[in-house]
Structure 1
Amino acid sequence: MKLRHVAAALAGSAVIAVAAAAPSSSSPSVPDGTVRVAAAPNTGLAQFSAAFTRSQTAPERAPRGANDWACEPSAAHPRPVVLIHGTWANAYANWSGLSPVLKQAGYCVYALNYGAPDGDVFKARGHIPESAKEVAAFVDKVLDATGAEKADLVGHSQGGGLLPRWYLKFDGGAAKTHRLVGVAPSNHGTTASGLASLAKSLRVLDTTAQMAGQAAKDQTVGSDVNARLDAGGDTMPGVRYTTVVTRTDEVVTPYRQQYLAAGPDAPVDNLTLQDACPIDMSAHLGIAYSTVMYRLVLNALDPANARTASCRS
C-alpha cells in the first residue's frame, strides 16, 4: 500500500465515518454523560457523527464537563485529567461522551484542541513533535491552575498513542504525568488496512490526501517518529500505562500494534474491549462513545475503586 494511500485513509476515516453515519432526525443525540445500561451496546459511530457535526459550528468548543479552570482537585481524585483527541477530530467530537462522565465522577477535566489553526474543524494534522509542544504547554497550564504536581492523560488514537508518548519521552512529560490511558492508540503505527480502498471507492482519496497532514504520515508503520519513539522501549519510568483496544479497529491495524510492553518502573495494562463485553463492536471512532470504555477508563484512573466492566457497565 502506498504511503499516500495510508495517510489518506488514516486522516479520511473521520470524514468517511461521518458521511456514512450522518445524523438524521432519528439519530441519537450527543450523550449527556449518563452511562445508560444496555443489553447490546451499539457501535458508538452515530454518537461520534452527531458530535462531529455539532463541532463544525464551533470547532474550539470544549465538551461538557471540561475546562472549568476554577476546578479544585479533591482528595479522592487529586490529579486533573487531560483529554487528547485523535487525528482529524477535535475535543468536542472526541470527548462529548467521556468528559461529562469523568466530571460526574468527581474529576477536574480538561480538553485541548491542537494540530491545526483555530477555527479548523479537522485538527491533529500537524507534525507530532510540534503537536507535542502544544500538549506540553496545555498540561503546564492545567497544573498551574489546579496546583497538582502531575496529571493523568487520556487520549484517543494519535492522542492516546504516539503524541503523548512523544511528550513523555522528549518534552519532559514523564515528570508531570502519573498515568497515560490510550484508547485505540496509535502506539506502533498502522497499515490502515482496507481504508485506502474504501476512500478510493468513495471518491474522497484525492481530497483527503491533500488534507491529511504530516500527522498521518507520522503514524504509519516504520515512520521516523515511530522509530525514535520505539528505540529503547515503549515506556518511560515513573509512568503507568493502560491501553483500551478494540478488535474491530479498522484504522490502527493490526489492532495488536496498539499494545505496549512494560518497562522498568512503568507497568502496563493492555485491555481489550471485547474481553469485557464480547458484543461491543465499537470500532476506531465509535469506541470514544462506548460505555464499556468509560468503565475501563474510570477503573484505570482509580484502580482502588474499580468495578467490573461488562456489557452493562
Structure 2
Amino acid sequence: MPEPRNPFIYGVPVPPSKFVGRKREVRTIFDQIAGPALGSVAINGEHRMGRTSLLHYIVDPDVAAGWGIAPDRYVLVYLDCQSISGFTPTRFWRRVLGLLPRWPGDEGPRGAVERLLSQEGVACSDLDAVLDGIHRSGRKLVLLLDEFEWAIRTDTEEDLATTRDFLSGFRALVGRVPRALSLVVATREPLEALCRPIRFIGSPFHTIFVSLTLRPFTREEAEELIDEYLRGTGVEFSEEDRDFVYEVSGGHPYWLQNACFKLFAGKPGGEGLYEEIAQALRDEGL
C-alpha cells in the first residue's frame, strides 16, 4: 500500500478547497461587498499570515456563490500589484481592464474598455464610462488587490504627488453614483500607516475601508486545520503532537503548516523528533 502523501502546505498560498479558519474575516468581507452600501475592506497582516490565501478564497467562484455573489450580479477580479513592473497608474488600469470579462454584444462596458486600452494613458477619471457600463449590465465590480503597497509610492516628492492623485481618484471612483465599485486590498502594514506620508487635499484614501488585521490562528482554528488536512490520510496527531505544533508555531499559519508538514514526514518518529523540527524551523527563520 503506498505511503500517504503529506497533506500540509507551506510556502505557497493554500487552494480554496484547503482554506481553513478566518471565519470572522470572511464574513466581514462578504457582508461589505454584498451589502447595500457596497463597502470596501483593507486587510493587513505580517509576512506569511495568509493574506493571499484569503483573497484567493474570496475570489473563488464556488465560494463567492455560496455567499450570494453570483456572476450575473458581480464581477470579481484578483490582481497582484507586485506583478506590475514599474508601477504606474496607467499600467495598473491597463492590467485591470485586461482582466475584465468580455461581455457579449452591447452588454457591459466592452466599447469603453477597448477605447481606453487604445489610449496612451489611462487615469482614474477615465473609468467612469467603464463603471457605467458595468452598472447598466446589472453588475458590480469588486477588485481584490494583493500587495497593494506597491501602488503607494512615497519615496520622492514626485512619487507622493502621483500617489496622492491616484488614490484620490480611486476614492472618487468607489464613492461615485451609481455605486458600481468595491475594493478589497491587502497589505503588510495597515493602510492608514502606508498613507500617512501623503498630504491628501480632501478625505484620506484609507477612510473608505473597513480594516481587518490577520492574526495567528487560535487553538480552535489550528485544531480545525489539523483535522481537515489529516482527514483520509490514515495518520493521526496525538494531543501531545498538537500541543507541540501549536506551541512551536505560535499559531502563525505558515509556521503551523510547516511544523505539521515536518511532523507528518517524520512519523512515527522517535525520541528527539520535536527538537529536530523546532531546530529546522529556527534554521528557516522562525
| TM-based fold match above 0.5 | no
- Which TM-score band (shorter chain)? 0.3 to 0.5
Q: Which has the higher contact order (CA 8 A, sep 6+)?
A: 2
Greater helix fraction, Structure 1 or Structure 2? 2
Q: Please, what TM-score do these two structures have when normalized by structure 1?
A: 0.33
Q: Please, what TM-score do these two structures have when normalized by structure 2?
A: 0.35
Which structure: larger Rg? 2
